Chain A
Amino acid sequence: MTPPVLYTERLKLRGLRPSDTEAFLTYFQSERAEHTGGPMTAKAAWRHLAANVGHWSLRGFGMFAATRRDSDDIIGIFGHWFPHGWAEREIGYVLFNAADEGQGLASEAVKACRKHAFDTLGWDTAVSYIAAENTASIRLAERVGAVRDDAAAQPDTAYEVVIFRHEAAR
């Protein structure tokens, strides 16, 4: 399964590559990853990278590497996530560096992923699972028009999540 390439005004979303390894491992080893499954060891982060790549083989969709359009440097992962134990298919988003925040880049990527989910993958709904204390991520969900859905089933995660729902009409 070769991931497609999606473009937004400022970003390119493409498949993860070996050259993304260093940035991916640096983020997931850092304190910034405390709400996205980390911080974890370099070895665990590498296995997580491999699982992100292999998700495409198993499901036919998965998480993209996001880069600026004029660069090949990964700034985060955005896309479609449905491992065993998830109650529903998820739109996931992780911006690796604080320096890239506050510019609307994550919102731009999430909107492109949502459009891809509804228009190309044929989903009729999607959720985002967010650690309850991850206020930045919750703000982003609200900014892109997702609505909190406390009635949705909890996924099998190590931490409690709040669930935001993305609707096709938005």
Chain B
Amino acid sequence: MTVQFTAPTLQTDRLILRAPQLSDFEAVAAFYASPRSSFVGGPISAELAWRSLAQEAGHWVLRGFGRWTVVEKATQKPVGIVGLWLPEGFPENELGWDLFDGATGKGYATEAGKAARNFAYNTLGWSTVISLIADGNDASRGVAKRLGATHDGAFTHERFGSMQIWRHPAAEACA
């Protein structure tokens, strides 16, 4: 028996969080081609961006959780990738967010991040979660602060380099 775990769909006021799919490729490739991806290993080629999208989908099967493609309700367009991440070598369960070009400054990362964190605490039963933020990524650190996370150490990522660990409020505090 092979269990193919598929991401459940979540909704917030302005956003839909759904499973990554092939039709997201154009948006994902554009993100990974842009300077915006410099804090998460980019810019990288379209070929590597495709494999990255495949990894997003595969993570759900291997871990039973993963990251969602975030779709803007108003336009039905993908605006980012947000969710729960634990690849080999991560120090612990992570909540991560990547917003595509043009989707910043609207509070989308915070809104989607809250939904993903609620899923981690209320559905998966996690008691704690961190976010890894590359040194110098001020915008992402701002999202962590808005989500109530606090600086809690350092981590050296194999590809992304030196990162800060930001720890989110515990499950009880988010209830």
Name A residues whose Cβ lies closer than 8 Å to a Cβ of B.
1-3, 5, 14-18, 21, 25, 41-47, 49-59, 83-85, 156
Contact = CB atoms under 8 A, between A and B. Distances in A.
Contacts of B45: 85, 156
B76 interface: no
A25 B54 CA distance: 18
Nearest to B61: A53
Contacts of B63: 18
Residue from A18, A45, A50 with most neighbouring chain B CB atoms (10 Å): A50
Interface string B140-171: 00000000000000000010000000000000
Given A50-B87, A54-B55, A43 B158 contact: yes
Nearest to A4: B2
Interface of B (DSSP majority class): helix
B4 interface: yes
B87 A17 contact: no
Contacts of A51: 51-52, 54-55, 58
B56 interface: yes
Contacts of B47: 83-85, 156
A54 B54 contact: yes
6 contacts: A5-B2, A18-B61, A47-B88, A50-B58, A54-B59, A58-B22
Contacts of A41: 158
Given A49-B62, A53-B58, A84-B47, A25 B53 contact: no
